[in-house]
Amino acid sequence: MTIANLCSWTTGVYLFRRAILTGGAMLLIALSAMAQSDSAFSLQGFGTLGVARTTTDNVEFVRDLSQPRGIGKEWSGLVDSVLGLQGSWHLDPQWDVVVQATSRYRYDQTFYPEIAWAYLKYDPTPNLSLRVGRLGTEFFMLADSRWVGYSFLTVRPPGDYFWYLPFYSIHGADAAIAVPLGENVLRAKAFYGRSNGQIPLADEQWDISGSPMVGGFLEYQLDAWQVRASYANIQFKHDLPISAVMQKIIGRGTTSAEAAFLATRNTRTHYYSVGVVYDQGPWQAQLMLNHIEQGSNALESSDGGYLLAGYRVDQVTPYLGYSWVRSRQDVKPLNSLAAYVMADSHSDQHTTFLGMRWDVAKNLALKAQWDAIRGDSTSIFPYRQDRRALWDGSMDVFTMTMDFVF
């Protein structure tokens, strides 16, 4: 890491800290005051300080679709760093209020703090839970905690599996039930709400706010095994800003025929997934599979998954994983402009990742990971600033993180 790169990363960390301090200080003060006046209040936090680099500048590597820019050959703390605070107020045995604020790299290229969760929880019985407000999304297994790096064995959730999931919260409600079956437990959850936020597209934003989402899962806990089957869908309320993007790239917007062919408004995307987690003794293992069916010609449907295994040796856990994703075009492009747009959502690659987690102290873990991404030269989703003529589909990513909870 050169002096220039170190200064750049230090500046980024400073801006990251300033954002969470300015936006989160008022929340901390308010929550601390509540904590002093009511012993039923608790305050927790989590964070990741990470640096990463790749072996190419022909595309920029991102953590997921919510990030407008990514990283290249220079070390950067942009994509993985996050800080979060969560306050929980236990009103009585049945009622709770939970608020979570996070600062991470956002669609608008800032670390501006935002409220990730803010909900009221009611437990009418020990086995039934109802929530309403701003909730985390649970389209896939482990999806609602994917920014809590300490809870993951790896430095980040495998991208080939999670890239297609840019939704972090919904405004709505859910209901969860747990049914004891001897020493095992069967759980089910259903949710409905509307999305909030933006997805960056070139220098434009795709507004997904107000788009209705519905879904749920069925989960079975058997000793050290946890198995889940999930389904969810979203009906997009707005079109992709394709015309504005193409105006900047080729000097013209879309025609009415092109706009109709590439429309996303009122189309529906379906998410299907199954997951298996094993955690007992020194062994940890995960197997996840998904299928995403797109309703718009502008977006390719895909299949993906990953397999991960780790073995604990005292405080150190080496791990090895393999992930993959492959998308497909379901219709023939209308013309060359439509083909260019449709190619933006194409993925055909696999990743072998090798790493190590060291639990240095209680609530603190250091990690290092190497990702070997190998794919077709047409596999450019979800990378940013792609130079398609030079991209060969392969790169390596090197990452170091410090994860903590408090």
Look at the domain 123-405 and name its fold: Porin (2.40.160)
The torsion region of residue 133 among left (phi > 0), alpha (psi -120 to 50) and beta comes to: left
Let me know: does 50 contact 63? Beta carbons within 8 Å.
no
Task: Return the half-sphere exposure (C-beta side, CA atoms, 13 A cut-off) of residue 172.
Answer: 22
Let me know: does 372 contact 23? Beta carbons within 8 Å.
no
Q: Distance (Å, rounded) from C-alpha 45 to C-alpha 60?
A: 30
Q: Considering the entire predicted model, what is its pTM?
A: 0.89
**Would you call 383 exposed, middle or buried from its count of C-beta atoms within 10 A (0-12, 13-18, 19+)?**
buried
Enumerate residue ranges in the chain where pLDDT < 50.
3-4, 6-25, 28
Amino acid (one-letter) located at 273: S
Q: Distance (Å, rounded) from C-alpha 58 to C-alpha 67?
A: 17
Amino acid (one-letter) located at 225: W
Q: Distance (Å, rounded) from C-alpha 17 to C-alpha 32?
A: 20
Give 196-209 pLDDT, tens digit per residue. 888 988 788 999 99
Adjacent-strand bridge partners of 273: 230, 290
Q: Among 71, 68, 70, 69, which residue's Cα sits nearest to residue 54?
A: 71
Q: Is 320 in a helix, a strand, or coil?
A: strand
Q: Distance (Å, rounded) from C-alpha 265 to C-alpha 136?
A: 24
The predicted pLDDT at position 273 comes to 97
Q: How many CB atoms lie within 10 A of CB 46?
A: 22
The predicted pLDDT at position 249 comes to 87
All structural domains of the chain with their residue ranges: 123-405
